[in-house]
Amino acid sequence: MLDDDAISDHPDAAPTDAGGVAVLPAVDPTAPEHFVNRELSWVDFDRRVLELAQDPHTRLLERAKFAAIFASNLDEFFMIRVAGLHAKVWAENRRRGPDGRTADQVLDELREKLEPLVQEHAATVDHDILPALREHGIRLARHDELDPEQQAVLKERFQNRIYPVLTPLAVGLGRPFPYISNLSLNLGVLVRDPDTRQTVFARIKLPTEVVDRLEEVVVEGTQTAEPGATREHVFVPLEEIVEAHLDQLFPGMEILDRGMFRVTRDADFEISDDADDVKRALEAELRNRRFGEIVRVEIDGSVSGALRTEIVEQLGVEERQVYDLPGLLDLTALWQVVKVPGHNELLEAPWRAVTHPRLREGDDQQADVFAAMRRGDVLVHHPYDSFHTSVERFLDQAAADRDVLAIKMTVYRTNADSTLLPALVRASEKGKQTVALVELKARFDEQANIKWAQVLEDTGVHVVYGHPALKTHAKVILVVRREGEKVRHYLHIGTGNYHAKTANLYTDFGLFTRDQVLGADVADLFNQLTGFAKPGAFRKALVAPNGLRDGLLEQIERTVEAHRAGQPTRIRLKMNSIVDRASIHALYRASQAGVPIDINVRGICCLRAGVPGLSETIRVRSVLGRFLEHSRIYAFERGDEKIALMGSADIMERNLDNRVELVVPVSDPAARDELLDALDRAFTDEDGSWELGADDRWHRVAPQDPENPRGLQRGLMELHASRAREADQE
């Protein structure tokens, strides 16, 4: 080993400047090794979710919830991202990605990374969460663990509700292997005729569409560990009930083996740019979705080799697509357990959103939203601020206001019981011009959006579906109001969907503004989307796909120039994912120039942080918690200048090149300061934060005071509750 004094004489030592400080060689920010693979980074994100399920400081049913989220995340990941990789392999596409890997190489690395992770997930549920739940009177039981009375109850339930909807399908001459639908739960059975000794394979699809995945057997009078409780909740997996009664499905036959398996199929699709009817083309693609290629097979790890071989060979998949799992398949079933009544102590106390102080007036605590906007911009932060008394109130008031001439709105995801779309219907019935730009291609919400579009069209609302090649992901409502001799624009611009339920679960900002320049920009945007015109330049707004990336890159470059001129500078970004190569390269160059950069990213991060000579000034944090962090904020500081932008876009190629996105500056000082305060809190969170190291590993942030960790979400709940109390006292 070389001692310190010998380092400068070593032929591989770094050169030094006149002061003896090591000078690192220039690092090419565009080199493939400086770009983290997108799919592998996503796996790191789902691991962070799993760590929350494993956290003993998290309440027990919240841990079960995170275990269920991990499972549903993984399902979607395979249906979309892994499916895309397989499609490239099957098409013999050997092109290397920005990280230098081929699709085939990524699939191999994913398998290596996911195999231990899914095993860890299963072990966490089986050996940690479920035993702990049992101590609180919530039990997931096997059929043979039940007493005779309980088994009798399930036998009757099987006869009356389950057996009539089961269809065993044997495989043999003239009986091909049945089609296995996406995400269906299937029981594979090896059956032998005792007379002929012939063995056949049969498949039974579990009817989870019409029967609960977990059948609850309530046992009255059973004392549990919960003080004062006299009732235990017992859940029995549907497959356990079916397996216990296989003799009724295969009378006179010997059951040699049985085991569960589950198939995941490619669920992605594209609409042709030449489609002349987006709605009809999408409906055709939705019909084809369930016939996508198989990308994953999950098999009960306890089945025999013969049964496993039969399943794998009949499905025709590669071994790297097969996952042998212990315990229950499809752990999204834990959502049923999370919703069990009577165990509030195992969940976080419910949060009640408050009305923003600027939107409170009178006994109903609801103000004239238009009047509030005339006094200045209003920034709401969901779920801390109420969606109902802000966004829904805004649209309700617009629909009822005789001076409102037009309402235009984008719809990406919404919910059936929201008041937003009915408000559009009421506005249309009153003769106002109403336009809904409905994005039919919102993944996994396509069918719901088709139904909403039909309802709106039938009631006279102008419905526009957008361009086949672009998703309209912008979140904006434009209200045109007559005021005296003039017409004024009132806007709501958000970072999240117009979805009342997710507004209680996701953290998102919404800006209410009467800024007439932004109003003109949004009016032009709607005209471009609903009419026939080439995209033009916007005054204040940054709009994808034609100007958003350039606008963000310009802000980065201006910050670099200010830093070189000796001004104090800083870049802070908060988003769901950062993938776009051009943006990452620009951030690397800014770091090489010495600009301090803080990035808060919930999910995918293709940027490497803290690498000498490349990204030494870049710090990346990820915050996960009871609410899903969904807001997007882009902040740039140059001397006394503070620029804060918010909107619908993440820094991903799909957002910047293939979607209609809207990001706007927040100019009102109070609103801007609130955005920046949220950034401050995000970068000091200790409650559910991870920091990305130069080794590309995420490390959980340890709180300085374990008994009282600083929490982004906890702190914002306290802040908004305090504001509400102060408003009540005024």
Known catalytic residues? 473
Beta bridge partners of 169: 203
Distance CA 236, CA 350 (A): 28
Q: Residue 524 corresponds to which tokens in the numbers above? A: 């032009």
- Measuring CA to CA, which residue among 450, 390, 460, 449 is closest to residue 425? 460
Whole-Å CA distances, 81 to 68, 202, 284, 629: 20, 31, 22, 21
The string of DSSP letters for 568-579 reads -EEEEEEES-B-
Maximum CA extent, the chain: 94
Strand runs labelled E in 576-709: 597-601, 618-623, 628-629, 633-638, 641-647, 659-665, 689-692, 698-700
474 in the Ramachandran plot: left (φ > 0), alpha (ψ -120 to 50) or beta? beta
What is the C-alpha R_g of the chain? 28
Q: Hey, is 240 helix, strand or coil? A: helix
- Measuring CA to CA, which residue among 645, 630, 660 is closest to residue 559? 645
Peptide bond into 596 cis (omega under 30): no
Answer positive or negative: Cα dihedral of 241, 297, 319, 32: negative
Residue 199: phi and psi, rounded to 5, are -110, 135
The residue behind tokens 């945007």 is 525
Helix, strand, coil abundance in the chain, percent, nearest 5 = 40, 25, 35
232 with 222: CB under 8 angstroms? yes
Give the Cβ contact number of residue 519 at 10 Å. 20
Q: What is the DSSP letter of 7?
A: G
User: Angle, nearest 10°, between helix axes 712-729 and 669-684?
Assistant: 140
Strand runs labelled E in 80-192: 138-140, 169-171, 185-192
482 with 497: CB under 8 angstroms? no
Burial 411-424 (b: 16+ CB within 10 A, else e): bbbbbeebebbbbb
Burial 463-499 (b: 16+ CB within 10 A, else e): bbbbebebbbbbbbbbbbbeeeeeebbbbbbbbbbbb
Whole-Å CA distances, 112 to 118, 305, 696: 11, 22, 17
Distance CA 183, CA 289 (A): 12
The residue behind tokens 């409906």 is 283
Please count the helices (runs of H) and the strands (runs of E) in the chain.
Answer: 21, 27
Q: Residue 383 corresponds to which tokens in the numbers above? A: 């779920």
Distance CA 409, CA 430 (A): 17
Give the Cβ contact number of residue 166 at 10 Å. 17
Burial 610-645 (b: 16+ CB within 10 A, else e): bbebbbbbbbbbbbbbbbbbbbbbbbbbbeeeebbb
Beta strands 569-575 and 597-601: pairing type?
parallel
Burial 44-79 (b: 16+ CB within 10 A, else e): bbbbbbbbbbbeeebbbbbbbbbbbbbbebbbebbb
